[in-house]
Each structure stands twice: as C-alpha cells, then as structure tokens.
Amino acid sequence: MSLVVKSVSTKPYDGQKPGTSGLRKKVKAFQAENYTENFIQCILDSSEGAVAGSSLVVGGDGRFFCKKAAEIIVRICAANGVSKLYIGKDAILSTPAVSSLIRHNKAYGGILLTASHNPGGPDNDFGIKFNCENGGPAPDNVTNKIYKLSTKIVQYKIVEGLEIDLTKLGVNSYSVNGMPFSVEIIDPVADYVCLMKEIFDFDCLKVFVSGKKIGSPLKLRIDSLNGVTGPYVNEIFLNCLGATPDNVVHTTPLEDFGGLHPDPNLTYAADLVETVKNGDYDLGAAFDGDGDRNMIIGRNSFFVTPSDSLAIIAHYLECIPYFKRNGVTGFARSMPTAAAVDLVASKQNKECFEVPTGWKYFGNLMDAGLLCLCGEESFGTGSNHIREKDGIWACLAWLSVMEHTGKGVEEILKQHWATYGRNYFTRYDYEECPLEPCNEMMATLEKTITEPSFIGKEYSSGGKTYKTKIADNFSYTDPVDQSVSTKQGLRIVFEDGSRIVMRLSGTGSSGATVRLYIDSYEKDNVLGFASQMLEPLIQIALEISQLPQFTGRDAPTVIT
C-alpha cells in the first residue's frame, strides 16, 4: 500500500524560539493543536530541501510525551521525503547516544526529545532539539532560521495513516507517494557502548571496579535519577565492568522521573550526596534526564566542582587510550566556568578557548581539530568523541584517573590544587523570577558596568577589597567561521582575576532564571571553604546588581 501525503493548514505560534539548548516549554504547550507539528515542519524546512532523501536519528530521555512526539515526527518526516529514520526502542536515546548515532550513520542530523534536566510529567517540561550532521546542537544561524520559519508557517505535511510500533526492534519499510521510506527501531544502548569500549580500557577498568586490582571491589554509587542513563549504566557498569547491582540506583527511565528533578547537582541529587556521606563509597556519580550532565563526588561526598573536574581530566587525559592514540590538541570552557583548565592548558602549552554558554559553541572548534576536551560549570564535561557533553563518559574518565593514580577523589583534587592553585567557584540560581524586573535588572547592570567610570572602582566586603578591571557584555567571535555571538552574559573582572558573571538562563520554560557566577583564584590558600572564601564577592555582586531589589528574592533557589 502506498501511503499518501496530506497538507494541513496551520497558524504560527508565538515563541517557538530555541534557547540555549532547543525549544523547551511545558508539555501542555507541545500538546496544543499543531504546536509540535509546526515546529517539526520548521526544522525540516530549515534544511531547504536537503533533508529529502537523507536520514535522521530520533530519540529522547523517556519523559512524558516522548513517544507521542516520536510518532508525530515519523509521520511528518515521511511526508517530507526523509528516506530513513533511526529511532531508539520506546523512543529512548540519551543525548550523547544520539550524537554518536548521527556520526556513525552519517545522518543528516537528529531530533532529540528532551528538556534535559528539567522535571518531566504531564504538568512539567518537554523539549525538542535539532542536532546537525556533526552530531552537535544546531548553531545559532540554524536555530534562528527555524524560529523565523515558525513565525510564518501556514501548512505542514503529514502521512496521517502511518502507524509505527516503537517497542519492536527492526526495520519497518513503507512506500510514501511511491517513494521508499523506512524506520529502523534500534537498540538504544549498543552503539554507545561500543564507542565507550573504543575510548576507555574496559579490561583494565573491570579489574579496578571488580576489585581484582585493589583487593576489594570499588564501592560505587551511580544514580541515574530515573532518567535515560539507566539502561546505559546497567550495561556498562554491571555487565561490562562487573559492578554489582547495589552500586547503581534509579536506573529505570520514568516518564516523570519518579518525581525527581533530574539535575545532578548538590540540591537535586541530595539523596546521592546523603548516601555517599553516610556510607562507605569510593565514588558517587549522577546524571541528568538525558544523560549529558554529570556530578562527581568522592568518599564522604567530597564535591568536585565541574570546573575542577574538567581541569583534572585535562591533566590526566593521556591515561585514556583514545587520547593516547589520537593526541590532544586544545581545551575549552564556557565563559562562566572557572578558569582552572586554563592553568593546565598553559602548563601543557595547549590552547584554551573561552566560548559562550551552551555546548553548541564547542562543535566548530572540534570539527576544525582545535579542541579535544571541554566543559561547562553546569555539570557538562565531554570530548571530541561526539559533539555533546557526556555524563557517563565523564564518570568513566574519572574511573580511569582513579585507576591510573591509585588515589581517591579528594586526594586527586588536593594534589591538583597544590600544583596549580585553586579556583573557588560558586553559582547562585534564582529560578522562576518574574521576567520583566529581571530584564530591567540586566539592562541597568549593563549600563552601570559599561560606564567608563566603573573601571578602577573599589568595592569592599568582609574585610576584602576588589578593584574593577574589565566589565562588559561578553561577545564571542568563532575562530573558525568568524560568526559573532553578542550579549552572552555580563561580567566584571577584578584586578586579582576574580570574576562576577551574571546572565539570564536560556533553558527555562517559564519566567526568568537569574544565574550569578562567582570565581576567585588562590595560589596558596587552597583548602578553605568555598562558601566562606566567596562570601565577600557575593555580597559585592548583590550590591552592584541590586538583585534583591529587582527580583524580590533574598536567597537563591539553588546554590552550586
């Protein structure tokens, strides 16, 4: 039977503008008539016909509405001449797995169904993100094009009768208007596990994890927070590395993440932190809903800031076979991320790039061979093995470093600080604030800090005085294609290198989230408490920005 294509009239929806990482809204918004259909049609139209005859990878983090969205995508792709879709069984694919599959299958791109670390369920968030053929998030010029199309869309194409069983592995072949179209339902885990086996020395890690090297098994607490990483964790840590089932928790992907907020930080992964603090564990790790973020803690819940995690992996990178084989070119971090990795780069005589917030900015540098390892303070760490950050990869990298050094997490950190000095770092998030006052606050702050008289000013708090040296709204020129991204966050840099950074989140689904980042470097005083060390700068940041007055908040919702 040849299926037929139907054109359906539609009207544009406001606000289909992809943010830092795709389009994120409440599930209810995606359920509105034609809302999801419109956006998918605009993604396909942004290719200006190139998607016809090519293949796409589709999958998501298992949250509510993933399966429904996958079915819509199948019908719209069939109608728009896409020749093949690879879809994870049950519409499940982690974000790193999608990136890998796009690259391995030489697909045109991928459609990721996730709102990452935002809560899931019928009353929470959903998201759709488009990744390009390099496996990375679409760059600004593509997302801007998608948005522009969404403001003018008048119709979408669909094959209404096309049914797909997402639960059965295998190839489904169809004929659409006489043209072949196929959907392959794939094992979500297999390709990714192969990739990890190529990167890391699984034999050696197995000996380490199962205790053949140190006499007793390593005690791990890997927490998937009911997100997509569960099946990957089971395969890698249990089946491949010989950990026992009591080393992994929350490994069944749930549509509402079992009510958990699947964000691996000290606030939302509190259960992990408490358990590791009170138990006998060598390493704790948690991942977010779609598996690209990670948090690493050591014995007694010794917390590794993502900025430090990046620097340490950089320092030991060549203990990982993939990098030993391929060599290491440069490093990179997002602007708000503390500059710990810069110190490793300079010691190794390697370049270190500073890019705006969002993984998409790393892709060009990787494609040009300039970048091998990068990270963000927001619990993102990854390498050029794919074009997304990768939570499980980061955990395997830490296991490799622990195996290589024979040391625990805290000892590794302390040794690193003794060598390089320490970048104290904290981030305050003020979530779901009213939008208008936040916009006003940012505009006022930008005006204040860009007055020429702002430079050279002194601010004092808690017995410390800081003198302003540079202040701007961060702007980035991509060294590969020279594209310019402006207004990427307000930053104040002081004479001693300490920094205050403030920006509004681009991933929230309602209201505004203010992010305040504080970073301060100490060469010798490396064993202090971050909260105490940074208190004076925090007070100065609140004073300059007038955040309490504008937002009405006297405390952040999340402190990292």
Catalytic residues: 116
| Other CB atoms within 10 A of residue 121 CB | 17
Does residue 506 bind ligand G1P (CB under 6 A)? yes
Does residue 387 bind ligand G1P (CB under 6 A)? no
| 217-220-223 Cα angle (round to 5) | 155
| Other CB atoms within 10 A of residue 347 CB | 12
Phi, psi of 137 (to 5 degrees): -55, 140
Residues 6+ apart with CB under 8 A from 181: 77, 78, 82, 83, 84, 173, 174, 175
CA distance 90 to 5: 25
Binding region for ligand G1P (CB under 6 A) out of 47-55, 265-273, 356-364, 492-500: 356-364
Does residue 421 bind ligand G1P (CB under 6 A)? no
**CB contact at 8 A, 314 and 382:** no
Q: Using CB distances below 5 to 8 A depending on partner kind, what does residue 376 bind out of ligand G1P, Zn ion, none?
A: ligand G1P
Among 94, 357, 383, 426, binds ligand G1P (CB under 6 A): 357
Does residue 358 bind ligand G1P (CB under 6 A)? yes
Among 16, 21, 55, 224, binds ligand G1P (CB under 6 A): 21
Q: How far is the CB of 114 from Zn ion (least distance, A)?
A: 7
Q: How far is the CB of 96 from Zn ion (least distance, A)?
A: 9
Closer residue to ligand G1P, CB minimum distance, 110 or 298: 110
Site residue total, ligand G1P (CB under 6 A): 14
Does residue 334 bind ligand G1P (CB under 6 A)? yes
Closer residue to ligand G1P, CB minimum distance, 47 or 334: 334
Closer residue to Zn ion, CB minimum distance, 127 or 242: 127
Closer residue to ligand G1P, CB minimum distance, 20 or 423: 20
Closest listed residue to residue 274, CA positions, set 209, 223, 218? 223
The one-letter amino acid at 459: Y
**Radius of gyration (C-alpha) of the chain in whole angstroms:** 23
Closer residue to ligand G1P, CB minimum distance, 18 or 358: 358
Among 263, 376, 390, 403, binds ligand G1P (CB under 6 A): 376
Q: How far is the CB of 358 from Zn ion (least distance, A)?
A: 12
The one-letter amino acid at 123: D
**CB contact at 8 A, 60 and 90:** no
Closer residue to ligand G1P, CB minimum distance, 59 or 380: 380
Q: How far is the CB of 326 from ligand G1P (least distance, A)?
A: 25
**Residues binding Zn ion (CB under 5 A):** 116, 288, 290, 292-293
CA distance 248 to 238: 8
CB-nearest residue to ligand G1P? 505
Does residue 403 bind ligand G1P (CB under 6 A)? no
Token code pair at residue 502: 């403030």
Closer residue to ligand G1P, CB minimum distance, 20 or 83: 20
Among 46, 80, 116, 384, binds ligand G1P (CB under 6 A): 116
Q: How far is the CB of 498 from ligand G1P (least distance, A)?
A: 20
Q: Using CB distances below 5 to 8 A depending on partner kind, what does residue 110 bind out of Zn ion, ligand G1P, none?
A: none
Token code pair at residue 1: 């039977």
E strands present in 136-224: 155-158, 170-176, 179-186, 220-223
Closer residue to Zn ion, CB minimum distance, 99 or 520: 99
Q: Using CB distances below 5 to 8 A depending on partner kind, what does residue 125 bind out of ligand G1P, Zn ion, none?
A: none
E strands present in 159-252: 170-176, 179-186, 220-223, 248-249
Does residue 507 bind ligand G1P (CB under 6 A)? yes
Among 192, 359, 425, 428, binds ligand G1P (CB under 6 A): 359
CA distance 15 to 1: 39
E strands present in 65-196: 84-92, 109-113, 125-131, 155-158, 170-176, 179-186
Closest listed residue to residue 298, CA positions, set 421, 418, 416, 427? 416
**CB contact at 8 A, 193 and 205:** no
**CB contact at 8 A, 248 and 237:** yes
Would you tell me which residues interact with ligand G1P (CB under 6 A)? 20-21, 116, 334, 357-359, 376, 378, 380, 505-507, 515
